[in-house]
Structure 1
Amino acid sequence: MQTIIIYGGLIILNGLFGILNIFSNVKLKKILLVSIFILISLVVGLRAWIVGTDTISYIQSYITIGSIPINELSGVGSFAGNERLEIGFVYLIKLLNVVTNNPQILLLFEAIFLYYTIFININKYSLLPFFSVFLMITLGIFITSMNLLRQAIALGFCLLGYYFWCNNKYLSFWISILIGGLFIHRTAILFLLLFISKKIKFNNKAIYCTLIISIIFYYLYVPFFQLVYKIVPYYQNYQNSYNNFGSGKASAIFNIIFVLLVLFLGQWAKNNGSFNKIFTYDRWNEMSIMLLLSVLFTFLSLRFTQVDRINVYFRVFYIFYIPNCIQILKNKNQKIFFTFIYIFIALIYFLYILIVKDNWSNIVPYDFFWNIKF
């Protein structure tokens, strides 16, 4: 019951705030948006160690690293299960240990940092902020933030970089992505693929080429990953993820279909809408390309399930792309139609994860850290 109240409460409260937002002045709009982000951050940051598949591993790492002298950290081996942590993350944990040896501070830091970076982007670049928050909760970002802690922090650096990107501060963009990729989670480097959007225009040809390349990679995954292992031997740790279809296959198929539906909306909005100073053609194109790239990585995840974790850097654009594409449509009935369609799909997906496939991320049942001692 507590789980339903907390997760359902966030969605309902966000909906109420969205309705109030329509009748509010600029100051109240900001207060409402800040309030929902504070609540979400608290839910994520105050979760117990049982919430999230990887949470317990990071709490153990926090305790272990905290007991190691700082001059010996460079020789630290593996933490968080069998995975070696980037040195920047190790020193972040050591720094937080100076504040307190309570590992809950790591979860709070992750929540506050990630949702701050999402907030500043939604506040400035979403035409429907509370619709963006709804999609953030239901389409995976919220779930990821309670499970893949280190990657969630890296995503925060990517979104910080994207904020700089949109403001043409490319040096700051590079610094943000490199910090996230080299010091927090190496997969964040893939966010640099954003530069492709400056060279490639999103159209039907781009979709067909991506699908063809995806199918080729699907059938040639063995030599492909053998090459990856030679370049980055670290990923040999994940060989057991090969052919680990299970529930991950159903998720991958859904995500391929869903992203193509979203891109269909994008094409429809381009042809039947009007871009504005917030959602320009360039913003539309770069988000379209990043979402299209997620199709490629999702195809690979059908063979190598761990690859799907990479998609968080690409699918995060759902939360801006869907609301903005709907909002720029000229026809009011089309706006209503697409809004209900994507709300329905997002809710069904979220409920499916919580009820049917709760073992994917272990965020059910939810509890606060003070109720369950580590």
Structure 2
Amino acid sequence: MNIIPPAFLVFIIAFSFIEFYNDISRRDGKYILINRVLFIFFIVILILLSGFRSQGVGIDDGSYNEIFLSIPSFNYDYTSNFTSLEIGFINLIRTLKLFDFNIHVLFFLCAVLSLCSLSYSVRKMSPLFFLSLLLFYSHDYWYRDVNQIRAAVAYGFLLVSLYFYCNKNVFYFLFFIFLASLFHYSSLFFLLVFFERYINTRKQHFLLLFISVIVSFLSVNIFSLIFNNLQSGYLHEKIFKYAMNDGDSNVFALDIWRPKNIKLILVFILGYIFWDELIKSKYFKTLFSVFTFGLCVIVLLKSAGVIAARLGSMFTVVDIILIPIIISSVILSKRKFSLFIVFVLISIVFFIHNYFMLGKGYNYSMFIF
């Protein structure tokens, strides 16, 4: 078992406590600068861990290796055998093939794109950098950056797009969604963020989620309604592929009460309860609306597990920034500390589950060692 990832978790937790203490103490700008530098250093370590991992650590590594070997450089004509693969990802591989790079360079570049985008968003929007990093590292990192590398790059760009949206820069918002779509077409659904402007109150957020739950419990299969009315073609094929569970002929349902979703429900409840305190934060309302969209997608499309998880997580990925905003914006210090401890413990449990119980800890290694 490789002890580097668990040891890195301990360091993140330690710096999260230091950062939390200084957030309460309201330290000066010099501390904030040091904190930013340390945060970037930690991001570099994450890039190395995922970028230089041995092939086979990620569940999808075999598929990516097959794709990498099948796509030639720009020196040769190429007719795609992977009709559902995004053009940006294909052209990245073709560029690497010009220089005879291997798949490890692909892993490394995807890690750079993903984690640099994520770090930019966190530094711009999160009041607690290391808590955001802890929340990300304990779960999303092991599912995406070490596995679903196209989604990792796309989600990083989407977080950046959201920062520009919050700052009313529509051009860059659309530009980064476009970049994300070059690595994952589903990123285009992020354009739904435009509708968040019509959901402005606590009651409206609750009503939106409540209606989604009612529709779901009435056994209205939203996925079937959409899928059955699609004409055969690219989109039909793409959705069908994702809806299948590892090639099984049956579409599996998503368990709403899985640990990840319980955490998401907890975040929604906290946002609802402390709304009056949180609404003063510049980024809270928009992030909470986007987060609520994600919960609604998960509930409405739960009959198609993969689709619900993929589309839902595209929106709920903001939780790594939303949770620190909730903790930092709560007025009473005792509540701040209690919430902080709760999410640190949740992160530890998630890391143990993802790294040890799912087997990451027993097959993780770096190809350079």
Greater CA drift, 17-26 or 89-98:
17-26
CA deviations on 1:252-305 (whole Å, 9 max, x unpaired) are 643433222101211233234572xxx32xx21111111112222222553212
Q: 1:163: Cα distance to partner?
A: 3.0
Match of 2:59 in 1: 53
Match of 1:266 in 2: 271
Match of 1:348 in 2: 349
CA deviations on 1:17-68 (whole Å, 9 max, x unpaired) are 33555376233222211111111111011111111111221122122213x6
What is the identity, as a one-letter code, of the residue corresponding to 1:203?
A: R
Cα distance between partner residues in 2 of 1:130 and 1:291: 21
Classify 1:202/1:9 alpha carbon distance in 2 versus 1 (closer, same or farther; 3 Å).
Answer: farther
Cα distance between partner residues in 1 of 2:215 and 2:16: 44
What is the identity, as a one-letter code, of the residue corresponding to 1:14?
A: I
Q: 1:149: Cα distance to partner?
A: 1.0
Q: Secondary structure at the match of 1:139?
A: helix
Cα distance between partner residues in 1 of 2:361 and 2:227: 31
> Which residue, 11, 34, 48 being the options, matches 1:13?
11
Greater CA drift, 165-174 or 104-113:
165-174
Cα distance between partner residues in 1 of 2:134 and 2:241: 35
CA deviations on 1:46-97 (whole Å, 9 max, x unpaired) are 111111111221122122213x655523x2122xxxx721122111111122
Q: 1:186: Cα distance to partner?
A: 0.6
Greater CA drift, 323-332 or 265-274:
265-274
What is the identity, as a one-letter code, of the residue corresponding to 1:216?
A: V
Match of 1:166 in 2: 166
Q: Secondary structure at the match of 2:244?
A: helix
User: Where does 1:245-264 land on structure 2 (aligned, <5 Å)?
Assistant: 245=253, 249=255, 253-264=258-269
User: Where does 1:79-118 land on structure 2 (aligned, <5 Å)?
Assistant: 84-118=84-118
Is 1:259–1:292's contact at 8 Å kept on the other side of the alignment?
no
Superposition RMSD in Å: 2.5
Is 1:354–1:363's contact at 8 Å kept on the other side of the alignment?
yes
What is the identity, as a one-letter code, of the residue corresponding to 1:18?
A: S
Greater CA drift, 106-115 or 87-96:
87-96
What is the identity, as a one-letter code, of the residue corresponding to 1:344?
A: L
User: Where does 1:119-134 land on structure 2 (aligned, <5 Å)?
Assistant: 119-134=119-134
User: Where does 1:190-209 land on structure 2 (aligned, <5 Å)?
Assistant: 190-209=189-208
Match of 1:236 in 2: 240
Q: Secondary structure at the match of 1:184?
A: coil
Classify 1:111/1:84 alpha carbon distance in 2 versus 1 (closer, same or farther; 3 Å).
Answer: same
CA deviations on 1:220-278 (whole Å, 9 max, x unpaired) are 24233212465822222345334424xx537x643433222101211233234572xxx
Cα distance between partner residues in 2 of 1:90 and 1:33: 32
Greater CA drift, 302-311 or 208-217:
208-217
Match of 1:184 in 2: 183
Is 1:269–1:326's contact at 8 Å kept on the other side of the alignment?
no
Cα distance between partner residues in 1 of 2:358 and 2:300: 21
Cα distance between partner residues in 1 of 2:312 and 2:180: 15
Cα distance between partner residues in 2 of 1:202 and 1:364: 47
Cα distance between partner residues in 2 of 1:296 and 1:225: 18
Extract unaligned runs of 5+ from structure 1. none
Classify 1:41/1:302 alpha carbon distance in 2 versus 1 (closer, same or farther; 3 Å).
Answer: same
Classify 1:202/1:71 alpha carbon distance in 2 versus 1 (closer, same or farther; 3 Å).
Answer: farther
Cα distance between partner residues in 2 of 1:256 and 1:120: 26
Q: 1:202: Cα distance to partner?
A: 4.4
Is 2:142–2:354's contact at 8 Å kept on the other side of the alignment?
no
User: Residue 312 in 1 paired to residue 310 in 2?
Assistant: no
Q: 1:344: Cα distance to partner?
A: 1.7
Q: Secondary structure at the match of 1:140?
A: helix
Percentage of matched positions with identical amino acids: 21
Please give the TM-score of this superposition, normalised by the length of structure 1: 0.85
Extract unaligned runs of 5+ from structure 2. none
Q: Secondary structure at the match of 1:291?
A: helix
What is the aligned residue count?
A: 351
What is the identity, as a one-letter code, of the residue corresponding to 1:109?
A: L
Q: 1:177: Cα distance to partner?
A: 0.5
Match of 1:332 in 2: 333
Q: 1:313: Cα distance to partner?
A: 1.6
Match of 1:366 in 2: 364
User: Residue 143 in 1 paired to residue 151 in 2?
Assistant: no
User: Residue 27 in 1 paired to residue 33 in 2?
Assistant: yes
Cα distance between partner residues in 1 of 2:361 and 2:226: 33
Greater CA drift, 199-208 or 311-320:
199-208
What is the identity, as a one-letter code, of the residue corresponding to 2:335?
A: Q
What is the identity, as a one-letter code, of the residue corresponding to 1:258?
A: K
Cα distance between partner residues in 2 of 1:49 and 1:229: 38
Classify 1:367/1:216 alpha carbon distance in 2 versus 1 (closer, same or farther; 3 Å).
Answer: same
